Amino acid sequence: MGSWLDVVGSIIIGGFIILIVANLNLAITSSTSEIMFSNIAQYELSSVLNIAEQDFSKIGYKATGEKISTAKKHEIKFSADLDDNGSVESVRYYWGEKSELTSTQNPNDRPLYRSINNEAGKTIGRVTDFTISYYDSSSKKLSYSSLENASTRKKIKSIKIYLKVESPEIVDSVYHGAEWRRKLSPKNL
């Protein structure tokens, strides 16, 4: 009788150990997926930032006349000599529509476009938020409606950019992401 109790006890203890190991394996797999998708989001954000930061820091560089011709919440168009060759380019950044991205499961993903000299916009990244705020010399935020007027756009001295990128797939009911927020004061404004 004692040997039967030993066998039953061993089976119960063995079952608990198997459950613990299986639960640990699930936790490790979930954590690995979470880290992987978070790293993907950070990589995508950094690739967008490499392009955008260079362009935004040159707003108005060697430009005469209107330096910022469009200043909206999700769109900006400005003039700058990006490649320092003496030719001023017209640069436009704008946020596309959700329907334009079908390669991702994330319903919040939208393409971020960059267009130079009124050419068709090229996707530079997949973002879930792209918001621009505009400030005057006293760091007062300018309203979007007032920026429809060219004389108000001339008052822009700094720009706050907010970018958010989320993973294309869901992990544990969450889209993991990375975000970037910075206020830039281009020298030529």
What's the pLDDT tens digit per position in 117-154?
999 999 999 999 999 999 999 999 999 999 999 999 99
Q: Which of 107, 121, 113, 101 is nearest to 166 (CA)?
A: 107
15 φ/ψ angles, rounded to the nearest 5 degrees: -65, -40
Taking 3-state DSSP, the helix, strand and coil percentages for the chain, each rounded to the nearest 5, stand at: 35, 30, 35
Token pair belonging to 176:
């993991």
Q: Is residue 127 part of a domain?
A: yes
Whether the pTM exceeds 0.85: the reply is no
Evaluate if residue 30 carries a pLDDT over 80: no
CA 139 vs. chain centroid, Å, equals 24
Structure tokens, 187: 């020298």
189 found inside a domain: no
Domain contains 50: yes
- Domain tally, the chain: 1
In a domain, 70, yes or no: yes
68 lies in a domain? yes
Residue 52, CB half-sphere, CA atoms under 13 Å: how many? 32
- What is the domain extent for residue 119? 3-184
- What distance lies between CA 73 and its chain's CA centroid? 15
Predicted confidence band at 2 (pLDDT cuts at 50, 70, 90)?
Answer: low
